[in-house]
Amino acid sequence: MDAPMEIKVPLNETKVMVPPPPKPTLDLSKLPEQERIRIQHQRMHEKHKGHEAMHAEMILILIATLFVAQILLVQWKQRHFKSYQMATMFGMWVIPVYFCLTMHWTRFLIIWALFSFFTSIIVYKATRKPLPGTTPRLVYRWFYTIYKISYGLGIIGYTIIMFTFLGLNLILMIKPEIAMDYGMVFLFYGLYYGVLGRDFAEICSESMASKIGYYTKTGLPGRALEPYICAVCGLTMRIPDEDEEGSERIYQLSCDHRFHEFCIRGWCIVGKKQTCPYCKEKVDLKRMFKNPWERPHMLFGQLLDWIRYLVAWQPIIFLLVQGSYYILGLE
């Protein structure tokens, strides 16, 4: 009887698959803040490793969208200014409210509701036919008050931010993040309501001027201007005595036409008109407002025009960019 054959398997040919031990989970909450930020930053780089081409494509889409949108907005503004103005004002009025609703910022919503309520009353009065003689003065007083408040808030916010950058907040024992938050809030309120009030004031200026009859967009005035009649509000101007206090001052332009103080301020500064309401002669704002403390108001008005694009159109442009990313499958 033959003995059983033994088959020897070389040890070097035997492969045993042993699974690697599981990596221990790292609890980031127990690490110091700097170490936690470093690990999160490292994980983000590992996640997006090899995505350089996709990132370059996303940047090109963003730049192209911004460039095309800017051209379209400029052409729209030049060809159809009225519709552009209304669309911009609607965006300025609604878009920040949407973000505040999602963020539950009740303070802004309350102030926005109060501003919208009183401004809607003013706009309603300015668009009535026939237009009462006291309405233009009421409208210009309201918007000029809003303009001065927004200007003051903007200056306060900017001052707080600059003092924080210089470290002066430490003298008052205020943390930099708290001081910067207050500065940004004041600056935002000043710029936002300054732009919004300016747009409403311009619409009211056009509507009231066309109804009063002294001003027309083209051609000669609708009727002759009597002496000591304000061509903006249509009311009689009374020359105040030198010792009289509380009376409204009267401004006379280079064309010799005279206006109430609040009427011409509202027309030139708030309503963004730089021509005489009656004869359309160019108004020299520096000559009309000789006080140097009043001149920054005109510069501030130009700043408000630059902010309008950032608030009204920038969110829409970024929404279009995100939509393009989603359609192309970019993350």
The separation between CA 198 and the C-alpha centre of its own chain, rounded to angstroms, equals: 12
How far is it, in rounded angstroms, from Cα 124 to Cα 133?
15
Joined tokens for residue 223: 């009727």
**Mean pLDDT value across residues 150-174:** 87
Tens-place pLDDT, residues 259-311: 877 777 777 766 666 777 777 777 766 666 665 545 555 565 566 677 777 77
pLDDT tier at 186 (50, 70, 90 boundaries)? very high
Strand extents, DSSP E, the chain: 250-252, 258-260
How far is it, in rounded angstroms, from Cα 300 to Cα 154?
9
Neighbouring C-alpha atoms within 13 Å toward the C-beta of 289: 19
Average pLDDT over all residues of the chain: 76
Spell out the long-range contacts of 85-90 with Cβ–Cβ below 8 A and sequence spacing 24 or more: 85/199, 85/202, 85/203, 88/199, 88/308, 88/312, 88/313, 89/196, 89/199, 89/200, 89/203, 89/312
- pLDDT score at 285: 64
Pairing outcome for strands 258-260 and 250-252: antiparallel
Phi-psi region of 23 (alpha: psi -120 to 50; beta: other; left: phi over 0): beta
- pLDDT score at 4: 54
Joined tokens for residue 45: 């780089």
Please tell me the pTM assigned to this model.
0.65
- pLDDT score at 157: 92
How far is it, in rounded angstroms, from Cα 288 to Cα 181?
38
How far is it, in rounded angstroms, from Cα 102 to Cα 125?
33
- In this structure, how many other beta carbons lie within 10 angstroms of the beta carbon of residue 225? 16
How far is it, in rounded angstroms, from Cα 191 to Cα 154?
6
Neighbouring C-alpha atoms within 13 Å toward the C-beta of 282: 2
How far is it, in rounded angstroms, from Cα 177 to Cα 11?
68
Q: What burial class does residue 168 get, using C-beta atoms within 10 Å of its C-beta: 0-12 exposed, 13-18 middle, 19+ buried?
A: middle
Tens-place pLDDT, residues 51-84: 667 777 888 888 888 888 888 888 888 888 888 8
